[in-house]
């Protein structure tokens, strides 16, 4: 029995009863029986799944091929259609891309270069002395494509075309598909269309020539339109030289209004709200621009915020002075003209009629110190911002009012004229202007009450809200709650009308006042005070 150790067999010497060893050696007694070897397991059989015949036909080796990639020999096909040799190229391609006849060399170089006459180091056996192999474009993949010479024998084989048959017009155009009668009909239609086109062109040319006349002259002009005395043109021509445009500048702010010359000394009547910004500013300037374009500086003579009137003076020698009329002689429906500088457009004239008289209107100061209620002339002559201070003249050219305010659909006067303009009657304006020229200020009559407009459905009036202590009303016995119906000869229909009725009177004047107290009519006499 032997034990394997380091690849060598150890045999016990004769006479030894046992063999000592390391590792797997053990003592064996000669008299002991040989131990039985343990059973050994055989390797597990390989599992070989069955191979699909279809896969075998596709991926299997060809018949007769034992190793991978073995070269093909023999026939072009193995009989089962899986691997076949490359078919020869078509004759046309071979003739187009193969070498010329007589050149038997192929494109493949030999594995080692050959020397001269077969010696190493010499030119290859296929080299042409005039065309070395390394310069042959057939062997250089980077050589550009170019057309070669025609193949031998091509010129002799190509037939020379002979002269062809000539085509007629009919064959060329219609290819023998149109009947001759149709051609005749087409020709007739073409001639007819051409004739119609020529006629239309002729008529068009004649019409165009009729629109112009080289020797044309206009008829002689007639006399100008007559402008009789009293016409709008006549009135405007007479009044415009007396109307000025007033330009106000306060710092970087400015404004435009109108005015009318009322005295040969250069006094100009206008509205207080036109010149009020200049009166309140130290660096303000006022200029009056006449209808002929002349600009002159102006100075404020006096202002009256309670009637919205002011007088300025310009240094002009012999100015054109407007004719002053009378507003008391006006009637509703009389024709009037509004003259001024609306929106800065100097010398603008609009005409209309007197729409109403004695219309109490409370004015919006528009940022000025004006707090006025005027007994206005209402007119539909167009008045816009910039017309303020300009004259309202009658059909004789006389000034009957000073244009002051409008009623518009927008806020303030921003909406423009809608045919509701208001002018201060010249009778009131003349009295105020004279006082301003004389004294520089005006004194107004005061009753000494505050009132509101009331009505009982049949009668309108002004109800007293409070009475100023020590005033004219208190001295006359008027108390709060009394309804004033009449002041002097003027009926009172509201609070604004009470204000204008009192201011038309003079301070110190004694006037009867009709009132209603607790349903009973009373008449008291008040001596008007001065403001």
How many helices (H) and strands (E) are present in the chain, helices listed first?
10, 22
269: nearest Cα among 239, 236, 312:
312
Cα torsion for 355, 360, 366, 367, to the nearest 10°?
160
Catalytic residue among 304, 308, 375, 496: 308
User: How far apart, in whole angstroms, are the C-alpha atoms of residue 105 and residue 254?
Assistant: 108
Pairing of strands 399-406, 391-393: antiparallel
- Contacts (Cβ under 8 Å, ≥6 apart) of 432: 304, 307, 309, 442
215 HSE (CA, 13 A, CB side): 0
Active site residue 179: no
Q: Of these residues, 245, 258, 276, 388, which one is catalytic?
A: 388
Question: For residue 235, what are its two tokens?
Answer: 């009135």
What whole-number distance in Å separates Cα of residue 244 and Cα of residue 417? 21
Which residue out of 245, 258, 273, 444 is catalytically annotated? 273
Token code pair at residue 182: 């149709």
List % helix, strand, coil for the chain (3-state, nearest 5): 20, 25, 50
Measured distance CA(419)–CA(338) in Å, rounded: 12
Q: Is 408 a catalytic residue?
A: no
How many other CB atoms are found less than 10 A from the CB of residue 17?
Answer: 10
Ramachandran assignment for 61, one of left (phi > 0), alpha (psi -120 to 50 degrees), beta (any other): beta
Residue 143 among the catalytic residues:
no
- Which residues carry out catalysis? 273, 308, 388
């Amino acid at each position: 029995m032997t034990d394997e150790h380091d690849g060598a067999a150890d045999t016990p010497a004769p006479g030894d009863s046992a063999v000592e060893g390391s590792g797997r050696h053990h003592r064996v007694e000669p008299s002991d029986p040989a131990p039985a070897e343990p059973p050994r397991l055989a390797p597990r059989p390989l599992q070989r799944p069955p191979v699909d015949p279809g896969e075998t036909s596709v991926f299997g080796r060809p018949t007769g091929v034992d190793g991978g990639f073995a070269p093909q020999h023999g026939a072009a096909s193995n009989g089962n259609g899986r691997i076949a040799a490359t078919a020869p190229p078509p004759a046309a391609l071979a003739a187009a891309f193969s070498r010329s006849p007589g050149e038997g060399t192929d494109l493949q170089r030999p594995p080692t270069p050959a020397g001269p006459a077969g010696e190493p180091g010499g030119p290859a056996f296929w080299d042409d002395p005039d065309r070395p192999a390394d310069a042959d474009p057939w062997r250089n993949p980077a050589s550009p494509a170019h057309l070669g010479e025609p193949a031998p024998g091509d010129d002799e084989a190509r037939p020379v075309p002979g002269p062809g048959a000539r085509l007629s017009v009919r064959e060329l155009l219609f290819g023998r598909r149109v009947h001759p009668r149709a051609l005749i009909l087409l020709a007739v239609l073409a001639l007819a269309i051409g004739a119609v086109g020529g006629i239309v062109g002729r008529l068009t040319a004649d019409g165009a020539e009729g629109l112009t006349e080289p020797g044309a002259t206009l008829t002689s002009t007639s006399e100008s339109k007559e402008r009789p005395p009293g016409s709008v043109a006549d009135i405007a021509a007479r009044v415009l030289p007396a109307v000025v445009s007033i330009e106000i500048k306060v710092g970087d702010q400015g404004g435009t209004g109108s005015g009318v010359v009322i005295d040969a000394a250069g006094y100009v009547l206008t509205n207080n709200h036109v010149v009020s910004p200049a009166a309140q500013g130290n660096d303000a300037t006022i200029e009056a621009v006449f209808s002929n374009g002349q600009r002159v500086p102006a100075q404020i003579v006096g202002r009256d915020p309670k009637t919205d009137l002011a007088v300025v003076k310009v240094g002009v020698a012999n100015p054109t002075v407007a004719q002053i009329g009378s507003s008391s002689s006006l009637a509703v429906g009389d024709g009037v003209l509004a003259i001024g500088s609306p929106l800065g457009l100097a010398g603008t004239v609009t005409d209309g009629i007197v729409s109403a008289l004695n219309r109490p209107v409370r004015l919006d100061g528009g940022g000025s110190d004006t707090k006025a209620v005027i007994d206005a002339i209402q007119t539909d002559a167009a008045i816009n911002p910039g017309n303020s201070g300009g004259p309202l003249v009658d059909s004789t050219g006389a000034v009957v009012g000073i244009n002051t305010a409008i009623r518009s659909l927008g806020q303030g006067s921003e909406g423009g004229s809608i045919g509701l303009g208001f002018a201060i009657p010249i009778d009131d304006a003349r009295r105020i202007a004279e006082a301003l020229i004389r004294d520089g200020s005006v004194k107004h009559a005061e009753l000494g009450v505050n009132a509101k407009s009331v009505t009982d459905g049949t009668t309108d009036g002004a109800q007293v809200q409070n009475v100023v202590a020590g005033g004219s009303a208190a001295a006359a016995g008027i108390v709060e709650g009394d309804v004033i119906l009449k002041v002097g000869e003027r009926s009172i229909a509201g609070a604004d009308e009470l204000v204008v009725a009192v201011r038309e009177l003079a301070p110190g004047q004694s006037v009867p006042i009709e009132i209603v107290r607790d349903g009973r009519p009373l008449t008291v006499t008040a001596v008007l005070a001065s403001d």
